[in-house]
Amino acid sequence: MLKERKEQEIISTESMVVRIGSLYQDRSRFRNYPPFQRDKVWGLRMKQVFIDSLLRKLPVNACMLMEDTDSLGNGIYQVIDGQQRLETIFEFLENGFATVREAKGGLLTFAPIEPGCTFSALSHPTQNRLQDYKMPFVTFGKEHEDVLEEIFLRTNNQEPLSVGEQLFIRNSKARHIALALLQHPFWAARYTGRTNRKENFQAALELITIEVLGFPVNLMISHSTFNPLNRLALGEFDSELSETLQNTIWRRLSMAERAFAGANIHSKRDIIPAYEACVHLDTQGFDLLSSEQGCLGEWFTLAKRGNMRDRVRDYHPFARMDFLSVQKDFWIAQAENIQHLPGLVRK
């Protein structure tokens, strides 16, 4: 069941400012990031522009903190929003990168301040100006801990999260199973797609959805809470998730690791037909763990290219594989053919 919230949830907050010099000295109190925080996605240029803004004393958005205590009872802050900003400051003060060298338009049109310098190479007045910068913070008490995910989602409207990051934030049994599944060797051996915005986490949730609801299934994310992926991430199917189901997915990922040797599984959408092929053949009495290694690789490559009549510029047959109708049509065409591939072994 979905969590019920009060219709009128009033969040009490306070504001404070902290000198960057003091912030760095007490960084252990601020370097606490809840599991729903996004991975570090700022590139070097973004970090450099941010530091240049601080050197100019330009205002920056406030970081959001929750007051907490560590295991020894010392006061700390959980960083609900602001990880990228704080880590960039700490990295620069530790000489992790240099200031921007030249303006290239876009976010930076001013001539850079002391270009190409690490923190220790800056002049003393510039060092002092950075350390004296007062970072703004908004804090709220631990009594609001149960709505941290909701607060994080709402405060990131101005910096949209990827679909995978939105799903990752929700704390459910499905989330923990998906994280366990990401430890499977399949991801390192066969998946070559992006992972920096939780794309692989989203794919792991999709595998759980396929097992719970069967396929074809709608895996296209939407704002509707009735979307299967949303419902899974929000915990609606938690009662149907078991260790047996997790072990089944783990075993079928082992099948995929062996059967798709040599195939280019380059995106999370590629994983959908690959995994569904393993489910289909497994339930039809084939033993993919004993079948020839790479036995599904050529089939996958040809299916990914599409029929010759469909091969137009920028055509990608798997690009819409998260749509139920596309999956349905795909398996109407492929369900029989895939059972007659060379190298397959029956149980």
Triad 29, 30, 36: Cα angle to 5°: 125
What are 49's two structure tokens? Answer: 């522009």
> Which residue carries 């189901």 as its tokens?
245
Closest to 170 in 3D by CA, of 188, 152, 186: 152
Residue 101 has pLDDT above 90, yes or no: no
Question: Which pLDDT score, from 0 to 100, does residue 9 have?
Answer: 61
pLDDT, one tens digit per residue, over 288-301 is: 999 999 999 999 98
pLDDT, one tens digit per residue, over 296-332 is: 999 998 888 764 444 444 446 788 898 888 899 999 9
- Tell me which amino acid residue 116 is: G
**Do 65 and 137 touch, CB atoms closer than 8 A?**
yes
pTM of this structure: 0.59
Residue 74 has pLDDT above 50, yes or no: yes
Query: What percent of the chain has pLDDT above 90?
Result: 49
Which of 105 and 178 is assigned the larger pLDDT? 178
Q: Average pLDDT, stretch 49-57?
A: 92
Confidence of residue 229 (pLDDT cuts 50, 70, 90): confident
Confidence of residue 146 (pLDDT cuts 50, 70, 90): low
Residue 175 has pLDDT above 60, yes or no: yes
Confidence of residue 45 (pLDDT cuts 50, 70, 90): confident
Q: Average pLDDT, stretch 65-79?
A: 85
